[in-house]
Structure 1
Amino acid sequence: MAAFRARPPSDEAPRVTADAAELLEVLSGRAPTTPASQVRVLLVLEQHDGINLRTLADSLGTTPPSASRLCDRLETTGFLERRPGAADRREVRLRLSGSGRSFLADLRARGEGEVRAVLAAMPSAKREALLEGLETFCAAAAPRILAHDAGPGAVLSPRPGTPEDPDTRGGRTA
């Protein structure tokens, strides 16, 4: 007889979600030769190509000297390029090199393969339930993320088709 495993209480959901997020980070972020701090720099540069060192340091929550040392290492590996700014040649702009972009693409492909392998080991019904749960989670989190990105005091309308949308009936647009 199969062992009965009770569903965790709803107050356990944050812990289980955090555990799952950590596992996904480990599976998708495996970069055996590149430290996580350097991968983080590459990800920031991918989103904000051409930023300066101070902006990078602020994005990483570190000091400009620490960010500069990370950039030194990434420049040595050929993943990052430093270029003088167009308006002020004393200001240095940071850009991903072609090698840096290729590295991130490879890292994502390997991570996706790892996640696919885990999902393949799950029963189909559980994969569907996971997808539905993740879609619902993302829809519920989106307004919080948008409010955070918009800054303090921002008032945002709910996304159409979400339960918070007054024109929504049962998760569908009226």
Structure 2
Amino acid sequence: MERPADLAAAIDAAAGTLIAVLDSAAARHQVPPTQLRVLTLISSRPETNVNGLAELLDVVPSSASRLCDRLEATGLLRRVPDPRDRREVRLVATAAALTLLRQLAEQRQRAVQSVLDRMPARTQHDLLLALVAFGRAATQSVPEQQPDPAAQTA
């Protein structure tokens, strides 16, 4: 099956537009995007410590620690001793952080719904099917490439 040459470019452009819609909803909050990302990561990974966060963010631990300092100062993050190893410190999103993340998710969904409401129902349905298929394809494991026997005889 042949696909339009500009399909990847159209998806990239649509992703940029989606990000702009999502960012417009997040702009109402006083928390910078990087700090929101940290809170999202921590809230979904309760075992996270500063070193683990640094790995997730692909930054050095001192940078992750400074991010945590800022979040802790605003009451959105707590550092608590790990009950399994008291030498370790876990990062925990506070109730205020979880409320903030929930409100943000609701605002983002409303912003996306506002755009969807301007689309015909059939197009919305087709988009849903396409996004589900895209998500499945993106999470499928890619088979390893077998070496080309002709290339090995050279």
Asked if Structure 1 and Structure 2 have the same fold, meaning a TM-score greater than 0.5 normalized by the shorter chain, the answer is yes
What are the equivalent positions in structure 2 for 1:100-139 lying under 5 Å apart?
A: 100-139=97-136
Structure 2 length-normalised TM: 0.81
**Identity percentage of aligned residues:** 36
In the other structure, the counterpart of 2:150 is none
**Per-residue deviation at 1:47?**
1.4
Q: Identify the match of residue 37 of structure 1 among 34, 41, 47.
A: 34
Flag the structure with more relative contact order, 1 or 2, with Cα contacts below 8 A and sequence separation at least 6. 2
Count of matched residue pairs: 139
More helix by share: 2
> 3-state DSSP class of the match of 2:85?
coil
Q: Identify the match of residue 62 of structure 1 among 59, 77, 84.
A: 59
In the other structure, the counterpart of 1:87 is 84
Q: Which moved more, 1:119-128 or 1:16-25?
A: 16-25
What are the equivalent positions in structure 2 for 1:1-16 lying under 5 Å apart?
A: 10-16=4-10
Is 1:79–1:99's contact at 8 Å kept on the other side of the alignment?
yes
Structure 1 length-normalised TM: 0.72
What are the equivalent positions in structure 2 for 1:128-167 lying under 5 Å apart?
A: 128-144=125-141
* Whole-Å separation in 2 of the counterparts to 1:50 and 1:115: 32
* Whole-Å separation in 1 of the counterparts to 2:43 and 2:16: 22
> 3-state DSSP class of the match of 1:89?
strand
Q: Identify the match of residue 28 of structure 1 among 22, 30, 45.
A: 22
Q: Which moved more, 1:56-65 or 1:118-127?
A: 118-127
**Matched AA of 2:103:** D
Structure 1 segments unaligned to the other structure (5+ residues): 1-8, 148-152, 154-174
Structure 2 segments unaligned to the other structure (5+ residues): 145-154
* Whole-Å separation in 1 of the counterparts to 2:114 and 2:133: 23
> 3-state DSSP class of the match of 1:18?
helix
In the other structure, the counterpart of 2:75 is 78
Once the two structures are superposed, residues 19-63 of structure 1 have per-residue CA deviations (whole angstroms, 9 ceiling, x without a partner) of: 222322332242441111101101111211131110000001111
* Whole-Å separation in 2 of the counterparts to 1:108 and 1:65: 29
Segments ≥4 residues shifted beyond 3 Å: none
* Whole-Å separation in 2 of the counterparts to 1:57 and 1:127: 38
**Per-residue deviation at 1:125?**
2.1
**Per-residue deviation at 1:123?**
1.6
In the other structure, the counterpart of 2:152 is none
> 3-state DSSP class of the match of 1:49?
coil
Is 1:49–1:95's contact at 8 Å kept on the other side of the alignment?
yes
**Matched AA of 1:27:** V
In the other structure, the counterpart of 2:12 is 18
